[in-house]
Structure 1
C-alpha cells in the first residue's frame, strides 16, 4: 500500500512541475523566431564557460537575449525585454550579477529561474549544447 501512495505522490509532483508556458505566453513580448549559435571559444561568449557569468547577445528576440551557464552542461536563455512592460516602453534589461534588471521599473529577475517581483517571469528560450557551441532557439 505504501508503494501505491508513493507512486501517486511521485506522479503528482512530476506533473505539477511541467512547464505551464506562462513565460512564453506573455502578452507584452511578441513571439520571435530565435536561432542563435554561440561558440564559447570566441572572446564575445567566453563567459559562457563559467557558471553564473551571463552574457547579453543583441539582435535576437524582442530586445536581445541573456544566456547564462547554470551548471555543468546546463544553460538558461531569456529574452532581454522587460516581461511586465510593453516592448517599446523600455530598453533591454541590464545584467547585475545573476539578475536581469528592467530599465523601466528596476524590477529584478533571477537568471536561474526567470522569476522576478512582478506578474510575468522572463520569456525563456530553449538551449542545447554541442561541444563548445550553445544553441539558443524556440
Structure 2
C-alpha cells in the first residue's frame, strides 16, 4: 500500500505543468503593483462607472495600463500595449470612449470585456487585451500582475 501512495504522489508531481510561456507571445509577463488614490484629480474619473483612465507610470505593465470602473465596486485593468504586436512606436493604444484603439492596425478593444471588437475572419489568431488584477480597498484601487 505504501508503494501505491508513493506512485500516486509521483504521478501527481509529473502531471504538474512547468510551462512558463506567456499568455500572449507579443507581451512579456511584467510583475508590478501600483496604487491609484481615487481622491487625486488624476484618477477622479474612476469614481464614475464607465470612465477609463490611462496609467502611464514607469513600472506599470509594459506600456502602462487602462483602468475602468464597471460597476459599484468592480474595476478592470488591461495592458496599454496592443496585444497583437510586439511593443513598438505605434503599439501604445489610445482611449476612444469605453474602448481602446491600436494605432498600428486600427483594431478596437472593449475595456469592459477586453475583447477585440472587430476581429478579422481571416483564420489568423488574434489576442484580446492582457488582463491585470484590479481591487478596491477604501479610496484606493490597486492594480497588479
Partner of 1:136: 143
**Structure 1 unmatched runs, 5+:** 1-23
Shift of 1:103: 1.1
Distance 1:74 1:34 in 2: 20
- Does the aligned pair in 1 maintain the 2:26–2:86 contact within 8 Å? yes
User: Hey, what's the Cα distance between the residues in 1 that align with 2:87 and 2:76?
Assistant: 21
Aligned to 1:49: 47
CA RMSD in angstroms, aligned pairs only = 1.2
Higher Cα radius of gyration? 2
* TM-score, normalisation: structure 2: 0.76
- The unaligned stretches of length 5 or more in structure 2 are 1-21, 120-125
Residues in 2 aligned to 1:53 and 1:34: alpha-carbon distance in whole angstroms: 23
Q: Does 1:126 align with 2:124?
A: no
**Which structure has the highest helix share of the two?**
1
* TM-score, normalised via structure 1 length: 0.80
